[in-house]
Amino acid sequence: MRTIAPGATLGMLGGGQLGRMTALAAARLGYRTHVLTHEAEGPCAQVAAEATIVTDYTDRAALTRFAAAVDVVTLEWENIPTEAVAFLAERVPVHPGAGVLAVAQDRLREKGFANALGIGTAPFRAVRDVAGLADAVAALGTPSVLKSTRMGYDGKGQVRLAPGTDLAAAWAEMGAPEGILEGWVDFALEVSVIVARREDGEMAAWPAVENRHRAGILDETLAPADIAPSVAAEADRIARALAEALGVVGLLAVEMFVTRDGTVLVNEIAPRPHNSGHWTMDFAETCQFEQLVRAVCGLPLGPTGIRAPARMKNLIGDEVAQWPALLAEPGAKLHLYGKAQARPGRKMGHVNRPR
């Protein structure tokens, strides 16, 4: 396994807040960060060591320049085109690889991959048109959730179906050429586990945390989750099994449902830092962003214990205006992303507090 020593340059695909916080963690370990993104003036550009390359991810000339300027590449957004990742991987180490992204980008492949490992998910059906949606509803019933197979996040591309829902209108609202209908899961709570994995197979995971959503967007994370030890152990086992089977190098976040009888079902995976891991910045022995740098550079993984129980609260839209009070609040740790405009549903920062 190759070790990329401090002093090297980390290439970041994507220029959002996850890239920003990774770049800051990389700098503390002595690495520079160079960014390639399709969006100008993103949060990561503000802290990058080199001028950001702003271009389409399929721009091969730009990708070639980027590869020549960095020593290893990672990403903060799993929807980078797999063709771009494969092209870069011919020139420089890229973690995670195109094969991991091919699974994580497609909800049908994601759930099928988990099921092939014997890991449970919600029941699901592929849907390609309104007639197919009607067949899927007949099989799975309502309530159920129609989702786009690709690109959906923070509640986007998702429509909840109830008895009597106009299926043609739901299909139009979902707004994608292919969808997945998921049967409703009567869950007690939602949890996630983030696991780090190096190229040699070494893994380290943080304890399971509880995630609470509002309007389809993560609102709060409580660390650790208040679940039975057996449930926590099963969530940890599932996350490690998926990371191993996928061959992830870096981080894998696994979002899961815990049903009322204690069954753990996978909902979604993300091979990158995750919003539900932001609490680690102030209340874990190693934060998720530093751990990503350690994993992709072949450094020893850091310990993942909890220093103290914590609560992470996202600052969404105008909630960021609370920053003066949050800075004055004893024990609160404020993290702002440097975004110029607060819009409804936009994550502007977060605050970590002890519980």
**Residues in the annotated binding site for ATP:** 107, 147, 152-158, 182-185, 190, 213, 267-268
**Minimal CA–CA distance to 278: which of 239, 223, 234?**
223
Torsion 215-218-224-227 (CA) sign: positive
Q: What angle do CA 123, 193, 160 make, to 5 degrees?
A: 35
The binding site comprises 107, 147, 152-158, 182-185, 190, 213, 267-268
Note the residue count of the chain. 355
Return the half-sphere exposure (C-beta side, CA atoms, 13 A cut-off) of residue 80.
Answer: 36
Whole-angstrom distance, CA of residue 15 vs CA of residue 266: 28
Whole-angstrom distance, CA of residue 125 vs CA of residue 288: 34
As beta bridge partners, residue 212 has 220
- Buried (b) or exposed (e) across 272-309, using 16+ Cβ within 10 A? bbbbbbbbbbbbbebbbbbbbbbbbbbbebbebebeee
Whole-angstrom distance, CA of residue 287 vs CA of residue 277: 8
What tokens appear for 161 in the block?
């179906």
**For 209-263, where are the E strands, in sequence order?**
209-214, 217-223, 250-259
Whole-angstrom distance, CA of residue 85 vs CA of residue 73: 9
Whole-angstrom distance, CA of residue 35 vs CA of residue 81: 16
Instruction: Name every residue whose Cβ is closer than 8 Å to that of residue 233 and which is 6 or more positions away in sequence.
Output: none
Whole-angstrom distance, CA of residue 165 vs CA of residue 136: 14
222 phi and psi angles, rounded to 5 deg: -115, 125
